């Protein structure tokens, strides 16, 4: 399984220079691709035009194609979600008695319908729209004072910085240390040194010393040790040395505090063993917490817990940390009990559509809580320790829990829902 580890690194002027060149290449490549130019022709042109290596061009291409594919894959769900929200908003209008609120809701519906029409038109012709630097920051230029900018030049500086704040380096198992452009090596003090090859037009290479990962250091070192040269034979029978090992990809990203590096590599997955004969642990995802209920093999409730995840008002990094800690706690509980984790196969589009008719407080909580990220975090944490994850139909689990288990066991409706989820997971394995 592919895992990604991150850490902060010391700033270096060359990182800003590399990111600026990478951003220019990425934006130019996207424009050329939209114009229908052939990739082989573009590669030859870009190597000369921007002074980059073939491997650096491939890294930009792979990352850009990933963004394009992501937009195309997600758009049908966004269209369906928009249609649901419009229908729900139209029903809400019929219940409003305040003329001002009715007018505001009608304006919102008109805006959503316009966005829906644009998405459907793009979907029909396969068009893709990308805003490098974020749409939010782009719109900030039209109201500088309200967005905290003293002048257009201040905004322009922030805009250029946002468009050049990261770069991706594609790894390969047949390259030294798993990557041709960035190679890590172990220093005597136990830290890593990253040797970054600059684009040909910007110089040779730089060394970033003292890099240490709080999580994943051992896995990265193991991947580096797997890089070796083996004896091989060509089709013509000629003996050659062939490089083999683990591909290691790097993404450098700048934020307000400086630079971070993300390292992605293929880590052997722990063997997953199903211990469903011992029971199951159900997890109910809520806007501000996770409800966890443990059942024995007969379906009896034997333990429960509430894990708070107060995502509202938190930064993205803080939310990720909260979700990560909660996922690790659930995986550890399941590993210790030798039981699988049972979760609902949630429809996230439906969850977002619910925002239209929700109260202001509920809407803020639902929009802050990353359901998809939480579910992915639980799956990843369980995979790392070999715990099986079972997804079940979410239909009526809350109702079943509230009616059958909440009062009988003296627990909250959310814990009761988690218990219903655990029991449904056990039933799927019978």
Q: Rounded to an integer, what distance in angstroms lies between the CA atom of residue 273 and that of residue 41?
A: 50
Provide the whole-model pTM.
Answer: 0.80
Question: Comparing C-alpha atoms, which of 180, 320, 186 is closest to residue 260?
Answer: 320
The answer to whether residues 262 and 312 belong to one domain is no
pLDDT digits (tens, 9 = 90+) for 270-288: 777 666 678 999 999 987 8
DSSP E strands, 214-349: 228-233, 239-244, 248-255, 258-266, 279-285, 289-296, 301-308, 341-344
The answer to whether residues 280 and 262 belong to one domain is no
The answer to whether residues 114 and 17 belong to one domain is yes
The last residue of a domain, from among 268, 303, 323: 268
The answer to whether residues 114 and 230 belong to one domain is yes
- Structural domain range at position 323: 276-428
The answer to whether residues 157 and 14 belong to one domain is yes
Q: Rounded to an integer, what distance in angstroms lies between the CA atom of residue 192 and that of residue 304?
A: 42
Residue 92: pLDDT band by 50, 70, 90 thresholds? confident
Q: What is the pLDDT of residue 238?
A: 81
The answer to whether residues 260 and 294 belong to one domain is no
**Paired sense of beta strands 205-211 and 192-197, if any:** antiparallel
The last residue of a domain, from among 233, 268, 303: 268
The answer to whether residues 143 and 203 belong to one domain is yes
pLDDT of 26 over the 90 cut: yes
Take residue 96 and report the two structure tokens written for it.
Answer: 């409003």
The answer to whether residues 198 and 259 belong to one domain is yes
Q: Residue 91, Cβ neighbours under 10 Å: how many?
A: 11
pLDDT digits (tens, 9 = 90+) for 308-332: 988 777 887 888 889 999 999 999 9
Question: Comparing C-alpha atoms, which of 92, 133, 421, 131 is closest to residue 282?
Answer: 421
Say how many domains are in the chain. 2
Quick one: residue 303, left, alpha or beta (phi over 0 = left, psi -120 to 50 = alpha)?
beta
pLDDT digits (tens, 9 = 90+) for 202-212: 989 999 999 99
């Amino acid at each position: 399984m592919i895992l990604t580890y991150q850490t902060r690194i010391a700033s270096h002027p060359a990182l800003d220079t590399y990111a600026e060149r990478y951003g220019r290449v990425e934006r130019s490549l996207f424009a050329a691709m939209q114009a229908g130019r052939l990739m082989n022709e573009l590669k030859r042109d870009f190597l000369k035009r921007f002074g980059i290596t073939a491997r650096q061009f491939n890294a930009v291409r792979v990352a850009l194609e990933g963004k394009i594919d992501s937009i195309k894959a997600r758009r049908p769900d966004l269209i369906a979600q928009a249609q649901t929200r419009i229908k729900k908003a139209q029903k809400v209008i019929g219940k409003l008695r305040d003329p001002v609120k009715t007018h505001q809701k009608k304006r919102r519906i008109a805006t959503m319908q316009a966005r829906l029409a644009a998405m459907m038109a793009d979907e029909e012709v396969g068009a893709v729209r990308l805003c490098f630097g974020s749409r939010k920051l782009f719109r900030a230029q039209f109201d500088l004072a309200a967005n905290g900018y003293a002048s257009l030049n201040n905004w322009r500086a922030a805009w250029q910085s946002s468009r050049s704040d990261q770069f991706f380096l594609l790894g390969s198992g047949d390259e030294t240390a798993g990557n041709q452009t960035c190679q890590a090596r172990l220093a005597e003090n136990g830290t890593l040194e990253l040797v970054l090859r600059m684009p040909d037009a910007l110089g040779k290479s730089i060394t970033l010393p003292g890099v240490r990962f709080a999580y994943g250091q051992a896995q990265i070192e193991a991947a580096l040790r797997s890089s070796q040269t083996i004896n091989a034979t060509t089709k013509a029978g000629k003996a050659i040395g062939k490089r083999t090992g683990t591909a290691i990809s790097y993404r450098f990203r700048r934020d307000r505090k400086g630079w971070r590096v993300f390292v992605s590599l293929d880590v052997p997955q722990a063997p997953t063993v199903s211990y469903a004969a011992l029971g199951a642990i159900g997890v109910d995802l809520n806007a501000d917490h996770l409800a966890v209920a443990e059942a024995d093999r007969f379906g009896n409730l034997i333990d429960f817990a509430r894990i708070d995840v107060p995502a509202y008002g938190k930064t993205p990094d803080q939310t990720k940390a909260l979700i990560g800690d909660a996922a690790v706690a659930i995986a550890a509980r399941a590993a210790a009990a030798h039981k699988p984790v049972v979760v609902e196969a949630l429809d996230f589009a439906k969850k977002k559509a619910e925002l239209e008719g929700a109260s202001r407080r509920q809407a803020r909580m639902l929009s802050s809580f990353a359901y998809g990220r939480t579910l992915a975090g639980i799956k990843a944490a369980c995979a790392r320790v070999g715990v099986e994850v079972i997804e079940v139909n979410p239909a009526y689990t809350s109702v079943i829990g509230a009616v059958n288990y909440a009062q009988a066991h003296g627990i909250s409706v959310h814990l009761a829902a988690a218990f219903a989820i655990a029991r449904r997971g056990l039933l799927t394995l019978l």
